[in-house]
């Protein structure tokens, strides 16, 4: 798994809080799907087979939505 603190920078604390909330509600291991006003993050996988995406929806240009990102 990548170093999330390095990848997310200032968004890392938001990620930790939202991930903790989701795990408390869903428990166990599952797809991480964070949807907050300032952070959208989805990831899944395991060693050597990890994938995901993260972005700040407030920074997207007009007319672009998260589904346009790959």
What's the mean pLDDT when you consider all of the chain? 87
User: How many Å apart are CA 35 and CA 56, to the nearest integer?
Assistant: 10
Q: What are phi and psi of 55, to 5 degrees?
A: -160, 160
Two tokens at 28? 């166990």
Q: Rounded mean pLDDT of 48-67?
A: 88
Q: Which residue has the higher pLDDT, 22 or 46?
A: 22
Two tokens at 2? 């990548």
User: How many Å apart are CA 62 and CA 65, to the nearest integer?
Assistant: 8
The whole-number pLDDT of residue 28 equals 62
How does pLDDT run across 28-52, given as a tens digit for each residue?
A: 666 888 999 999 998 887 778 888 8
The whole-number pLDDT of residue 44 equals 82
- C-alpha of 5 from chain center: 12
């Amino acid at each position: 798994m990548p170093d999330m603190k390095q990848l997310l920078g200032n968004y890392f604390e938001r990620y930790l809080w939202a991930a903790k909330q989701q795990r408390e509600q869903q428990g166990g291991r599952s797809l991480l799907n964070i949807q907050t006003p300032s952070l959208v993050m989805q990831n899944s996988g395991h060693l050597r087979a990890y994938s995901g995406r993260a972005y700040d929806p407030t920074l997207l240009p007009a007319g672009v939505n998260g589904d346009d990102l790959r």
